[in-house]
């Protein structure tokens, strides 16, 4: 895996976010993506580097080719990066971005209430630990 691999910065305390990371790990057969919890050193640095407040981060940041992507755009880029049938999610780009982002923000705003919260970040297994940044 290259040092330039796309990095998904996720909320390690959010159960929906942790499930999403597991989903990407399961479907990313090319091992394209790396991960950094927002609560970790690398996650905090990436948030700050992309102009986001580490004390009040979004639920998800994708850093790809040096650019930070948020909300629905980040999600669609990850799905496209998984390849195969997941690329069909790109059809959602036909929905105007303000509508997609509003739906994304609504889910993100309610994620703890609907899916729960953990006091501990996701702990990767030894088979995928190298894909996680400290």
Length reported for the chain: 134
Check residue 1 and give its pLDDT.
Answer: 41
pTM of the predicted model over 0.85:
yes
Does residue 86 lie within any of the structural domains? yes
Check residue 120 and give its pLDDT.
Answer: 66
Does residue 13 lie within any of the structural domains? yes
3-class DSSP assignment, residue 78: helix
Note down the domain range covering 26.
7-131
Confidence of residue 13 (pLDDT cuts 50, 70, 90): confident
Does residue 1 lie within any of the structural domains? no
Number of domains in the chain: 1
> For 72-122, how does the pLDDT look when each residue is reduced to its tens digit (9 = 90+)?
999 999 999 999 999 899 899 999 999 999 999 999 889 889 988 887 666
Percent of the chain with pLDDT over 70: 95
Does residue 28 lie within any of the structural domains? yes
> For 55-69, how does the pLDDT look when each residue is reduced to its tens digit (9 = 90+)?
888 778 999 998 999
Does residue 34 lie within any of the structural domains? yes
2 has pLDDT over 50 = no
Pairing of strands 7-10, 34-37: parallel
Residues whose CB falls within 8 Å of the CB of residue 123, separated by 6 or more in sequence, listed in order: none
Q: How far, in Å, CA of 38 to CA of 87, rounded? A: 26
Does residue 2 lie within any of the structural domains? no
Other C-beta atoms lying within 10 Å of the C-beta of residue 119:
5
């Amino acid at each position: 895996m290259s040092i330039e691999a796309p990095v998904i910065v996720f909320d390690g305390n959010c159960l929906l976010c942790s499930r999403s990371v597991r989903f990407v790990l399961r479907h990313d057969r090319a091992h394209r993506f790396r991960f950094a919890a927002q609560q970790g050193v690398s996650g905090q640095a990436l948030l700050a580097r992309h102009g986001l407040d580490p004390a009040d981060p979004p639920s998800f940041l994708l850093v790809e080719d040096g650019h930070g992507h948020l909300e629905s755009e980040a999600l669609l880029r990850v799905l496209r990066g998984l390849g195969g049938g997941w690329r069909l999610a790109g059809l959602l780009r036909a929905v105007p971005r303000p509508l997609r982002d509003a739906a994304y923000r609504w889910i993100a705003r309610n994620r703890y209430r609907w899916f729960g919260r953990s006091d501990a970040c996701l702990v990767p297994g030894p088979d995928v630990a190298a894909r996680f940044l400290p």
